[in-house]
Structure 1
Amino acid sequence: MYRRVDTPPILPDTPLCHPYWTTCWWRFWFSISGLLLIIVGGIAQGFFSAYLNFFGEQYETPAIGIIILGGIILVISFFGCCGAKRENVFMLKVFAGLMVLTLILEFAAAITVAVMRPNIEELVKNNMNSSMDKYGEPHNVVTEAWDNMQMNGLGFMLVLPHLHIYTYPIFL
């Protein structure tokens, strides 16, 4: 049987330290991180479900974004890991293409967040003002959300960037 020339030989004394296996392990850990992001996003979605009506129907919550990001990382790492394991050129090209596409989408998302920030702040303020009519009803989601909020009015988004965490001298 002939061995391909470009296939790295697996040395008997260091089978898992070869660069081939190292790249497989790194891509495996990326897939695990994708699964963890999906789990963390689901838990965050459960915790912040009381505040979903403040975002309105136009925008998704950050937890949904984390779940989607975890799924994308899982798919990309699948192509990278299986492409490296099987030495499949097509899967490695798909992996490289998805990595470039992810980089472009990250730039687009950063620009979108920078441009849409005032609109999102205004939407949340308007939805919070409109939800005040439902405040006070027992066992209501809006009442629980407002009770849990406990911030300093509707201008909390303008105050958050200026908050500083001060450490007490005892902790220094």
Structure 2
Amino acid sequence: MVKMWRKSSTVYKYFLFLFNLLFIISSLILMSVGLIIRGQYKKYQDFLDEHFFSLPFMLICIGVIMIVITFFGCCGALQENYCMISMFAILLGILFVSEMTLGFTAYTLSEKTHNILRINLNDTMQLYNKSYEITKVWDGLQTNLHCCGMDTYRDWYPILNSSLPMSCCETQPGAVGHEICNETVFTLYRSSCLTTLSSIIKENATTLGITGIAIAMAQILGVCFSCALAKRIRNNYENFE
């Protein structure tokens, strides 16, 4: 009987070690995704609100916490410590809820992206040539995304007296001192900055959500194995009392 218990406990122990290894890999993935997307959002911070930055930060924090939690799982399995394994299962459960919440929040935020960007893009356009920072940000946005104006290049006409920023046109080699940018130039960017930027932000928000939910679903197995091992350890204590 004792031999059978030890054999089954060893199986659960090895599975728990395996999941801890996977958790460490998952935590590194979470932190990497969080850092990359936070860096992407940083480039467009003048057009976004703080909610967009809180989600990747949460993902990074969850990744760090997961690494700490694996300590309880590994040590608990190695020492067959009921308390540590139980704590490991509880903490995993809390992380599961946090990651599911993050995933659904990211999805909800991605649905609001278009309206948030419309408001911020419109507000900052009014400050073009009035604020150096805003002018620099808008020029960088249009140059990098090959777009012009919020919905169309004509959005600039009432702001710049029927003219366009030079960043609305692609720079041509050898055109120094002779380059102009208006609607007759073939290098004019005709894409909407709102549509282009909205697609980028939505894609990143969706990535955050999918990553959080996917890792959370994988953690269910870890909770199940840790609970099963904790139960067997407790039963063993009771049998030997």
TM range (shorter): 0.5 to 0.7
2:117 is aligned with 1:121: no
Answer whether contact 1:28 1:81 (CA < 8 A) is retained: no
**Which residue in the other structure is 1:21 paired with?**
14
Distance in 1, matches of 2:102 and 2:32, equals 22
Q: Which amino acid aligns with 1:69?
A: I
2:95 to 89, 92, 102: 102
> Does the C-alpha gap of structure 1 residues 82 and 128 become closer, same or farther in structure 2, counting only changes over 3 Å?
farther
Answer whether contact 1:84 1:92 (CA < 8 A) is retained: yes
Distance in 1, matches of 2:48 and 2:15, equals 43
Distance in 2, matches of 1:4 and 1:133, equals 77
2:67 is aligned with 1:79: no
Distance in 2, matches of 1:47 and 1:117, equals 15
Determine which structure has the larger helix proportion and give its number. Answer: 2
Aligned sequence identity (%): 26
1:147 to 132, 140, 143: 143
1:68 to 50, 61, 64: 61
**Which residue in the other structure is 1:168 paired with?**
none
Give the gaps of 5 or more residues in structure 2: 148-190, 204-241
Answer whether contact 1:79 1:91 (CA < 8 A) is retained: yes
Q: Kindly report which structure 2 residues correspond to 1:6-45, keeping only aligned pairs within 5 A, or say none.
A: 7-8=6-7, 19-45=12-38
Q: TM-score, normalised by structure 1?
A: 0.62
What are the superposed Cα offsets for residues 11-63 of structure 1, whole Å, 9 maximum, x if unpaired? xxxxxx95533431331231133134324432443344211222123442653
Distance in 2, matches of 1:94 and 1:140, equals 51
Distance in 1, matches of 2:42 and 2:108, equals 26
Distance in 1, matches of 2:22 and 2:111, equals 37
**Which residue in the other structure is 1:90 paired with?**
83
Higher RCO (C-alpha under 8 Å, 6+ residues apart) = 2
Displacement after TM superposition at 1:127 (Å): 1.4
Distance in 2, matches of 1:8 and 1:29, equals 23
What are the superposed Cα offsets for residues 111-139 of structure 1, whole Å, 9 maximum, x if unpaired? 44455555443222211222224557589
Answer whether contact 1:79 1:95 (CA < 8 A) is retained: yes
Q: Which amino acid aligns with 1:94?
A: M
**Which residue in the other structure is 1:166 paired with?**
none
Aligned CA RMSD, in angstroms, stands at 3.9
Give the gaps of 5 or more residues in structure 1: 10-16, 162-172
Count matched residues: 152
Q: Which amino acid aligns with 1:57?
A: E
**Which residue in the other structure is 1:165 paired with?**
none
